[in-house]
Chain A
């Protein structure tokens, strides 16, 4: 998508809607987010247009499914940007896209973990994280409109995770003894799940927009799927997502505050051992992603200093895995 698509996009929008301004907010290897300033019947509104970049990650959700997830989350009361319209007609801008209302706030993880005031302060923001997760987890497999999410009948979520990660590692073709050691630990300690819920699967500081009062928008839904509630709690609490902060819940606040707010809002009991199990899983998953990013540099398909440096994150993750499993 580029400036040249402005005219066909304008033509596609509902009558009485005009584009006043348009600029690329963030363009990753996977998605692009365009900032749209529009007038709807004369009233100024701020929108975001989200679409695919050319290269797409194999396990990333297509835009239409992400749009359906945003709708389901909004119905469940999660703070998400309001999904407005979806366009699957490739003749408009060349890729599938959707438009959502722009939410204001800060998402930058390094700013959030250092701030004592954002989101109403550390304790208040940590509790908000717990409440948002509870609202996400209130979405269950019986929910209409999410039939595209893969179901995993009768399989412990930990075993499903181990199988997925081994498949990624096998496809990458470079044996990783430490990650395999961690996966074997998870395989031996996998437990059946009492509840299967919608997991966001990337709920962490950096993907959560906040302002001075609290959470304004939970972003980046492309990895969502059915799973154990502790998967999201573990991802949020994992050391690799604390951004150097000593605070265990997302680098923002105390773990106990997160658990208490989550339990109150969800009616579910948090099992601390299960959260820590999923923290090991989180560390492994991030290492697998980092290795795949580094591989794009190593293979020569996308020479990039940033991707090369991402590969050097892996040893610290491996050290964390060995500490947690031996």
Chain B
């Protein structure tokens, strides 16, 4: 076993940290406070090359491997970029663009990937429904073939980037009475008659990422917008969850490193009883627990990235283990970080309450912890 990064990977991570700290982080607090999506920062992510990092150069990407891609995500969090923007980036790049890239035709790739990689367009993925979350196969959104078109009817729920997206990858049932095998994936563009997004849902955390319902009311799309083959959607969804459980988790773990650095710096400056609180064992213990969590979590995430780089097609066990660990074991250190700041930790300007709120999504989004346990217990 060997855990080193290449010099290029290390340097690139440092570059991303510098870029994000200079160009994105100064805008975070204001946007977070107003729950506004930061279009400018999102576009800058595209210009810097992060949105399409792992796509080939001919599609506007940089041909990066998955480990480098994950490191870039970690770097964004480590620089202090909020969980909202990184969630939007994750949903855009990995759940939408990557699905089109991997399963789309050459025409579909050429039409959408460059726009998505540059940040000119925003993408989203519609899988979850009001009554079909973890149980994907029970979805009720339907796509009926009608000549050279499909007609979509149904609703999607909790869709990251939903109100903003220019293009959506939407999962719907095409096969009657079929569960997983009846799920297909489609590309739906904004402005298509019958397609609309609901209002932005007010959330506990990740507030700069806008989330909404997607509504399909006799939405007619060209048959050529089918991704892959009819019935192939479930496999696509399975492949995207690996991204969900690696690249999307990386900024969150990076965010914990950001908070650790902030908490440590604060503990050295904050005096109580005539000495910095950093000198108290209870504070050192909290800092240690944060460090231990971060080191354990990042190794799990690197492992999935590495597995993907080896071309191993489905790494469900590794992905579920990483997701479960990050989701369930991050809550205490996130809480500890806030406690180190005392009353200030409860205030917006110190950023830690934001991380605390953002962290609560980790055991819910991208498959709840219970679903990860279900997956793991079936595989062992």
Partners in one complex: no
